[in-house]
Amino acid sequence: MSPGLFALARTVVTAASVAVTLSIATAQTPAPQPATEEDADKLLEKYRAMISDPMSNPGYLAVDTGETLWTTARGPKNATLETCDLGKGPGTVDGAYAELPRYFADVGRVMDAESRILWCMETIQGIDTTPIRKKPFASSGGNPATEIEALVAYVANKSNGMKYAARMEHPKEREAVALGEALFYRRSSLNDFSCQTCHGQEGQRIRLQTLPFFDSPKAAQATMGTWPTYRVSQASLRTMQHRIWDCYWQMRMPDVGYASEVTVALAAYLTKKAEGGTIEVPSIKR
């Protein structure tokens, strides 16, 4: 790797410069044939290694924004989120993400990080979350993260280096995992797709894109341990709620209810499969 490229990578903070860096790298690689998506994969791999430090991954901007949002008094009740109970008691953020989704007795249901943070915003800060739920995801190429995406990035990052330990032993948690399993195989819409269609066998591709096979614990761990992620192609920080929405979009389904029982159950099912995997977030992906 050229020292120039390395220096450039270290100072990358915006999506635009990510794109520039990638194209410079392409130009420096003597390519005997036109660059394929596989080449892009390899590039991204190198790039990921280069920018694994917080100074260079644009996803860390969202982490910082999230921390500010977490600790700033806001809403009709002019309160911070610092008393939010993410499952390990009010105020404990460290390691909380590694145990989500989980059952919360105070609401009587299983929640993932996004659902729980929204609940805390409503109950502690008195914020009406309807507008956030209506537009939860940042538009590609715009502001790299919405409020809720930034908050998830912050909370998730506080479990960095820890292992997924969502035990899913409470009857309601088991029910969520089983419901997620049923959803995974549920075929629907104009192309008869289910999650299984694309993620049902080891080593398969759609066009040139390799697809994770979640029955392989290694693949499930590598996947679930790397969300939220900064998606270079969308220049945005993305959460698991967005990934599931995105896959339903590919399935030709109407927009799936954000933080609905369906998306939480699928996240619970996949997280159970990823048990023991290490969390390294925000990661960076295509």
Partner 1 sequence: MPRMSLAALAAAASAAALLLSGAASATDVKTQAGAGPGAEVAPGITRERLEQAVAAAWKGLPPDLAARVVQDETMALCSQYRNQPPQAVADAILAREKKNVTYPADGKYLGSWKNGEKLALSGFGGRMGDDPKRANGGNCYACHQLAPTEISYGTLGPSLLAYGKLKGNTPEAQKEVYERVFNAQAVFACSNMPRFGHNKFLTIEQIKDAVAFLLDPESPVNK
Residues annotated as catalytic (active site), given as ranges: 247
Q: Could you say whether residue 158 binds partner 1 (CB under 8 A)?
A: no
Considering only 88-96, 143-151, 228-236, 251-259, which stretch makes contact with partner 1 by CB under 8 A?
Answer: 251-259
- Phi–psi pair at 266, nearest 5 degrees: -65, -40
Considering only 83-91, 165-173, 218-226, 232-240, which stretch makes contact with partner 1 by CB under 8 A?
Answer: 165-173
Return left, alpha or beta for 204; rule: phi > 0 is left, psi -120 to 50 is alpha, else beta.
beta
Contacts with ligand HEC, residue ranges (CB under 6 A): 193, 195, 197-199, 206, 209, 211-212, 223, 226, 243-244, 247-248, 250-251, 266, 270, 285-286
Q: Could you say whether residue 135 binds partner 1 (CB under 8 A)?
A: no
Which residue in 90, 134, 86 sits closest to 259, CA to CA?
134
Q: Could you say whether residue 260 binds partner 1 (CB under 8 A)?
A: yes
| Residue indicated by tokens 């694994």 | 52
- Phi–psi pair at 109, nearest 5 degrees: -150, 170
Q: Which of residues 32-91 bind partner 1 (CB under 8 A)?
A: 36-37
Strand-pair partners of 230: 237, 284
Compute the C-alpha angle 119/103/265, nearest 5°. Answer: 85
Interacting partner of 223 out of partner 1, ligand HEC, none (Cβ under 5 to 8 A depending on kind): ligand HEC
Most distant CA pair in the chain, distance = 62
Interacting partner of 69 out of ligand HEC, partner 1, none (Cβ under 5 to 8 A depending on kind): none
Whichever of 116 and 273 has its CB closer to partner 1, that residue is 273
Contacts of 280 (CB under 8 A, 6+ apart): 160, 161, 225, 226
Interacting partner of 116 out of partner 1, ligand HEC, none (Cβ under 5 to 8 A depending on kind): none
Which residue in 128, 92, 140, 100 sits closest to 279, CA to CA?
100
Which residues in this chain contact partner 1 in the complex, by CB under 8 A? 36-37, 169, 171-172, 174-175, 177-179, 181-183, 185-194, 196-198, 200, 203-209, 249-250, 252-257, 260-263, 265, 272
